[in-house]
Amino acid sequence: MLASNIEKLLKALHKHEVEFVIIGGAAAVIQGSAYVTGDLDICYSRNDQNLKNLEMALAPYNCSLRGAPKNLPFRLDAVSLKSGLNFTLTTDLGALDLLGEVAGLGGYAELLSFSEELELYGIGFKVLTLEGLIKNKRIVGRQKDLMLLPELEALLELRESKNKLKWNSVICEAIRKKAVIQFDYHGITRAVEPQSHGISTAGNEVIRGIQINPRSTSGKPIEGRLYMVSEMSDLKQTNETFLTPGPHFNPNDKGMSYVHCSLAQVHKAGD
């Protein structure tokens, strides 16, 4: 289970629009593990704006380097974050590890393909998938990581076996035709170019696609988002079509443990 301090940390990061993926023990718990943790580990984006956002989010919580001499000067700000990479911190809200890179997986940009958006405390957070957790813990190889592996592998196997039969014919037909779909999601009517449909590593029936309406605040399509089919309503195929999967389409989607249909299959069939 997650400790209450983790909720406060996550909400602070979200409030200041920090870009990050939840990893480590907290991610394992969110994915269904019985592991108990009071620590929060995240992999954060290292672009300049995100470093400033991270500084503002953590400023009220008296961050210090965990295990360092008490008289060692340290201030967590954008400059120190840029000059370092991985930070193990003690804060007023408990232990917090900030990782610029994760063993076996890479940095924030690479981690996105091993993550899925899940709702916690009424907010959507990017969380490392079971496959990502398993790959990381095998590479790190610490005793506590190896002890957790059998449970994570069992969770992944269970979800794959239970959910292979869950699929939506409307979505797969739209993918085959490269047709835009429309549905209501969290109170908003959305138009999406579907890229793949299957089961996420959290065991949910999902689609990944490019949201073309409404667009982001910068006016650009929203790429690569996972949508839970159970939270959709009024799903329908439109007459609008698209030609290409989009520049960030990944035919080997690490956010899905099982794929029912995908643009990769459509392109392969057309070769």
- Chunk the chain into consecutive blocks of 10 residues (it has 271) and report each block's average pLDDT, rounded to whole numbers: 84 96 94 87 97 96 87 88 95 95 94 90 91 93 90 84 70 95 96 93 88 93 91 95 88 85 70 44
Q: For position 213, what pLDDT does the model report?
A: 96
Q: For position 119, what pLDDT does the model report?
A: 84
What are the tokens at 84?
A: 């370092």
Q: For position 122, what pLDDT does the model report?
A: 84
Q: For position 1, what pLDDT does the model report?
A: 57
Q: Residue 169 burial by CB count (10 A; 0-12/13-18/19+): exposed, middle or buried?
A: exposed
Domain 4-162: give its CATH code.
3.30.460.40
Domain boundaries along the sequence of the chain = 4-162, 169-270
Q: For position 200, what pLDDT does the model report?
A: 86
Sheet holding 40-44, edge to edge: 64-65, 87-91, 94-99, 40-44, 20-23, 123-128, 115-120
Give Cα 192 to chain centroid, integer Å.
Answer: 19
164 phi/psi in degrees, rounded to 5? -65, -25
Q: For position 162, what pLDDT does the model report?
A: 61
Residues 127 and 226 sit within 8 Å (Cβ to Cβ): no
